Chains A and B, each alone.
Chain A
Amino acid sequence: MSAKIVVIASMLYLTLLFIIASYAIRRANIGKSIVNNPYIYAFSLAVFCTAWTFYGSVGRAAHTGLSFVAVYLGPTIAAPLWYMLMRKIILISKKLHITSIVDFISSRYGKSTFLGIITTIFLVIGIIPYISIQLKAIGVSFDIITQEMSNNSFWDSTIFYKDKVNYITILLAVFTILFGTRHLDPNERHEGLIAAIAFESIIKLCAFMVGGIFIVYFMFNGFGDIFTQASQNAATASLLTLPDDVVHNANWFWVLLLSAVAAMFLPRQFHVTVVENTNVSFVRQASWMFPLYMLLINVFVLPIALAGMIKMPQGVESDMFLLSLPLMEGHNIVALIIYLGGFSAAASMVAVSVISLSIMVSNNLMMPLLLKTKSAIYAESGELSKALLQIRRVIIVVILFLAYGYYKLVSHSYPLVSIGLISFAAILQIFPALVGGLFWHRASKRGAIWGISAGFFIWCVTLPVPTLAESGLLSSDVLSNGYFGIEMLRPHALFGVENMEPISHSCFWSMVFNVSFFFIFSMFSTQDVEELAQGDIYINIEKYSDHPDIEIIKKEASVYHLKQLLARFLGGEKTNLVLQSFNGKISSGNEDNASQEFINYVEKILTGAFGAASAKLLISPNIRQQSITLDQIREILNQTKEIIEYSKALEIKTIDLQKTSEELALVNMQLKELDVMKAEFISTVTHELRTPITTIRSFTQLLDKKSDLTPERRKEFIHIILKECDRVKRLINQILEVEKIENDKETTQTDTNAFITLQYAIDRLLPIMDDKNIKLIADLPHLSHTVILDEDKLLQVFLNLLTNAIKFCDQKNGLIQILNDENDTSFTIHFINNGRLIHPSSMSQLFQKFTQIKDGNLAKPEGSGLGLFISKAYVEKAHSNISVTSDKVSGTKFSLTFPKENNSNTKS
């Protein structure tokens, strides 16, 4: 394919990225961010998948089979931890305006400038090999797609101005500068960049899938075909099984750990995961979407490696199988798509890595150095922030050309993955200090400095230095005879430990020294005030997020000086914007006396722009810090901890109390209702009792004192007294009955013949009905239906219903009907009277205790309001049912429905 087409396609693709980026920025400016969603966030995390993934995995698989998977398995296994770990890191970073992984570590350890400087230097050294392989990948893929042999074309990699990788480097530098240094954002948020890399993640996944599908389904007949062919060939068959020995197992372990750590703490991963994060909750979705992405992009790796080994002649670089296979078949369009996918993978990695490194270098390395030369402090308004942008642009170019240099010296002779793992091993060195700082109170600045330094030193002598030796830059004596000719110091067999792959070996020894130095120096050093305060924020970020007002160190500053400070370093325009977005109180009491809130805000803004350590240097001449001893700060930290714990406990208690009080309120309401009912009942009962007693007392007194009573009168009075005594007795019995029903639910009942008992009840009340001229129509068949209820109780039910009917039926032309009907399973007896209808609103209360129907025009009801309640309770004891209807057509009808006994429905 013509190089022109490839160059034009690359340029068009970059232009498309800029269009996407500027669209994202425009949207962000009108407040409709396209980046603020979990999917874009997850795709931006896929910047983890670089040219290494895109080309290198196939090469790795072609050499060692399935072991390429470890690099993706590590982050996948670690993904569930993200919600705990990354969430905490994001909360801390948002609170403190942290903009890089170095800032995160330096800020934890008392905003240490020194720790920031050494970590920055180490990370730059550690990441440069990684960037170099991206340059290599673009260069090699360009060569392959244009099918140009470097010796017979314009390009000549030995001559600087003819080396195309040099131009690729320049192009990427321009690309990165345009994306990353448009302006100085206090939060280092780059919506355009994120939109572009998320897009690139989609492109590289699609391109890889296109290549994979083409190779598997067009060059072969699917997965089965490739694996069958591969298993017939000795060279490829061995790739299908996992080697089982100590060396490989150790290597698996370290690669899993390395990749898990790298996916979180590589500078570019930290940048996209933490610095560019717009919403903490996205971490939750990303922790499944990101592993899914890695799974998809790896599905075709092994088949492509096998396909390459089957189809390609010996000696073709296995890293480039994905590209060379379609080219071999003459499918240039597929090849171009794959080339662009690889270009995306490399370009996005380079852009984000270099931007994050440039932030570190400018904020944690250059700024502190600049501030040491006093000139910067007295710089003119806004110049420093402008200078910082220029510095960053220079840093970007420098880093890229360092990577180019490494590529020229080392990378071109190594496979992509080997070099990538060297960078991963470098990142591992910050892991102990970082995680230790998040969870361990004793972790100290000295521990971190010593641990990281020791780890990096071991890393240096066991990984990059030997690569320099192997590529002939250093004497290869070092490899075989050890440093200084000491055998114990052989770089790949330190202290005589052999039989380990270089990566495992380096990780093992660097971690031994790193962790033990970190631990020992932390244990035996005392932390200063700033360290303790920062450490407390890191470890207990939740309390600081919930209680933003906690102040550990009291500070004093002049409002005027702080505003001047901002103007000097951010420029007037930016300062105005920053001041506008501050909502709190600027001064406390005294006009010029800045509030704690404002001091913190200024510090945060400066931290965002220049890093924690530099911000501290900038602001410290302007604030007077309350002098405080270590013991005092420990005391304060303990107090705030206690206060927060106390307030948390209190909150829980309050919620508990609320619940309890709600429950109590409900119970109380029920009790109150019951109380009202009881009170009504007592009032009713006492009234009912007082009435006969009043009568009895009055007449007894009359009989006793009034001597002029006729014998007839006396007799009449005595008769009244007796009747009233009966009334009292009846009432008391009923109350006792209710009591019994409520306390004694289960007693066995004897069978009672329903119709005989009903006849008995009618007989007892007939005289009263005659008295009142009430007409009774009772159609009682001679049935032997029995009800399982004691006879006296059933009688009571009938008597109650009948007396009610008598009481409430029409006063002049009273009519009571007793009817019955039956079906297969039950029989029903109806008591109907022609009295006043029961109002529907009273219907529901009818069977409740203490209810008396009160109807203005009815004569005062006699009784306690217990009759129907007792009746219902009895009827239910017999598993039967009582119901009532009241309407104009049929009058008021009480119906008793009893279940039929199996053998008792015969006529007797």
Chain B
Amino acid sequence: MSESKKILIVDDEPNIVLAIETILDDSRFELFTASDGETGLQLATTIHPDLIILDVMMPGMDGYEVGKKIRNIESLDDIYILFLTAKGTKTDKEDGYASGAELYMVKPFDNDELLEKVLYLLGLDA
């Protein structure tokens, strides 16, 4: 088995971070967390995760901006971005994909679905 996949969770709601951490409690994942966009972006450049689970509405830099910035850094081009946000309109989704996301999920979410998507993105079996 290959080495564990790094997943970065960026969300300003500590309870949601905790929930995601619990859902992704799997030995194949190595989890990192950040509570705002700026910290998330910094962490992404240093640890180079395989996947970022990104909230949109956060104080300071919002998720879209973080996504765009990551897409602009060539070395971070291979990171998968999954938006997990309360913003659920069609334009929100378009904005999300426009800022470089692979997937867009709307809160509240189904735990199993989130896990499935993460596994799918990372090319892992259930």
Interface, chain A (partner B; CB < 8 A) = 683, 686-687, 690-691, 693-699, 701-702, 705-706, 713, 720, 724, 854-861
- Which one of A697, A706, A724 lies within 8 Å of B22 (CB-CB)? A706
On whether the beta carbons of A694 and B108 are closer than 8 Å, the reply is: yes
- Give the top 3 A-B pairs by smallest Cβ distance, nearest first: A690-B86, A698-B19, A694-B108
On whether the beta carbons of A693 and B108 are closer than 8 Å, the reply is: yes
In the complex, chain B residues whose CB is within 8 Å of the CB of A694: 13, 16, 19, 86, 107-109
On whether the beta carbons of A690 and B59 are closer than 8 Å, the reply is: no
Q: Does B12 contact A (CB under 8 A)?
A: yes
Q: How far is the CA of A595 from the CA of B12 in the complex (A)?
A: 82
Q: How far is the CA of A706 from the CA of B19 in the complex (A)?
A: 12
On whether the beta carbons of B108 and A698 are closer than 8 Å, the reply is: yes
Q: Contacts A687-B57, A690-B86, A860-B58 hold; do A724 and B15 have CB atoms under 8 A apart? A: yes
- Which one of A691, A856, A859 lies within 8 Å of B107 (CB-CB)? A691
Q: Does B87 contact A (CB under 8 A)?
A: yes
In the complex, chain B residues whose CB is within 8 Å of the CB of A687: 57, 86-87
The minimal Cβ–Cβ distance linking B126 to chain A, given in whole angstroms, is: 14
Q: Does B123 contact A (CB under 8 A)?
A: no
Q: How far is the CA of A860 from the CA of B107 in the complex (A)?
A: 18
Q: Contacts A695-B15, A859-B59, A860-B12 hold; do A702 and B108 have CB atoms under 8 A apart? A: no
Smallest CB gap from A701: residue in B: B111
On whether the beta carbons of A702 and B57 are closer than 8 Å, the reply is: no
Q: How far is the CA of A290 from the CA of B109 in the complex (A)?
A: 92
In the complex, chain B residues whose CB is within 8 Å of the CB of A857: 59-60
Smallest CB gap from B19: residue in A: A698
> Can you sample 5 A-B contacts with CB below 8 Å?
A687-B57, A690-B108, A694-B108, A701-B111, A705-B112
- Which one of B16, B58, B110, B112 lies within 8 Å of A695 (CB-CB)? B16
Q: Does B23 contact A (CB under 8 A)?
A: yes
In the complex, chain A residues whose CB is within 8 Å of the CB of B13: 691, 694-695
Q: How far is the CA of A861 from the CA of B16 in the complex (A)?
A: 17
- Which one of A691, A706, A713, A860 lies within 8 Å of B16 (CB-CB)? A691
10-25 of chain B: CB within 8 A of chain A: 12-13, 15-16, 18-20, 22-23
Smallest CB gap from B18: residue in A: A720
Smallest CB gap from A858: residue in B: B59
The minimal Cβ–Cβ distance linking B13 to chain A, given in whole angstroms, is: 6
Most A CB within 10 A of own CB, among B13, B16, B19, B110? B19
Smallest CB gap from A857: residue in B: B60
On whether the beta carbons of A705 and B111 are closer than 8 Å, the reply is: yes
Q: How far is the CA of A575 from the CA of B110 in the complex (A)?
A: 96
Smallest CB gap from A856: residue in B: B60
In the complex, chain A residues whose CB is within 8 Å of the CB of B20: 698
In the complex, chain A residues whose CB is within 8 Å of the CB of B60: 856-857
The minimal Cβ–Cβ distance linking A462 to chain B, given in whole angstroms, is: 96
Q: How far is the CA of A361 from the CA of B70 in the complex (A)?
A: 101
Q: How far is the CA of A499 from the CA of B94 in the complex (A)?
A: 105
In the complex, chain A residues whose CB is within 8 Å of the CB of B58: 860
Q: Contacts A699-B19, A702-B23, A706-B22 hold; do A854 and B108 have CB atoms under 8 A apart? A: no
In the complex, chain B residues whose CB is within 8 Å of the CB of A705: 111-112
Smallest CB gap from A716: residue in B: B18
In the complex, chain B residues whose CB is within 8 Å of the CB of A724: 15
Most B CB within 10 A of own CB, among A693, A694, A697, A859? A694
The minimal Cβ–Cβ distance linking A112 to chain B, given in whole angstroms, is: 79
Q: How far is the CA of A857 from the CA of B38 in the complex (A)?
A: 10
The minimal Cβ–Cβ distance linking A681 to chain B, given in whole angstroms, is: 14
Most A CB within 10 A of own CB, among B15, B111, B112? B15
Q: Contacts A690-B86, A695-B19, A724-B15 hold; do A860 and B59 have CB atoms under 8 A apart? A: yes
Smallest CB gap from A688: residue in B: B86
In the complex, chain A residues whose CB is within 8 Å of the CB of B16: 691, 694-695, 698
In the complex, chain B residues whose CB is within 8 Å of the CB of A683: 87
Q: How far is the CA of A696 from the CA of B87 in the complex (A)?
A: 18
On whether the beta carbons of A856 and B19 are closer than 8 Å, the reply is: no
In the complex, chain B residues whose CB is within 8 Å of the CB of A859: 12, 59
Q: How far is the CA of A854 from the CA of B58 in the complex (A)?
A: 10
In the complex, chain B residues whose CB is within 8 Å of the CB of A706: 22
Q: How far is the CA of A693 from the CA of B16 in the complex (A)?
A: 10
In the complex, chain A residues whose CB is within 8 Å of the CB of B18: 720
Q: How far is the CA of A95 from the CA of B123 in the complex (A)?
A: 92
Smallest CB gap from A687: residue in B: B86
The minimal Cβ–Cβ distance linking A695 to chain B, given in whole angstroms, is: 4
In the complex, chain A residues whose CB is within 8 Å of the CB of B22: 702, 706, 713
The minimal Cβ–Cβ distance linking A580 to chain B, given in whole angstroms, is: 67
The minimal Cβ–Cβ distance linking B95 to chain A, given in whole angstroms, is: 13
Given A693-B108, A695-B19, A856-B60, 9 other A-B residues pairs in contact with their CB atoms under 8 A: A687-B57, A690-B108, A691-B16, A702-B111, A706-B22, A857-B59, A859-B59, A860-B58, A861-B59
Smallest CB gap from B60: residue in A: A856
The minimal Cβ–Cβ distance linking A438 to chain B, given in whole angstroms, is: 69
On whether the beta carbons of A854 and B15 are closer than 8 Å, the reply is: no
Q: How far is the CA of A686 from the CA of B108 in the complex (A)?
A: 11
On whether the beta carbons of A698 and B86 are closer than 8 Å, the reply is: no
In the complex, chain A residues whose CB is within 8 Å of the CB of B59: 854-861
Q: How far is the CA of A695 from the CA of B111 in the complex (A)?
A: 11
Q: How far is the CA of A697 from the CA of B19 in the complex (A)?
A: 10
The minimal Cβ–Cβ distance linking A468 to chain B, given in whole angstroms, is: 104
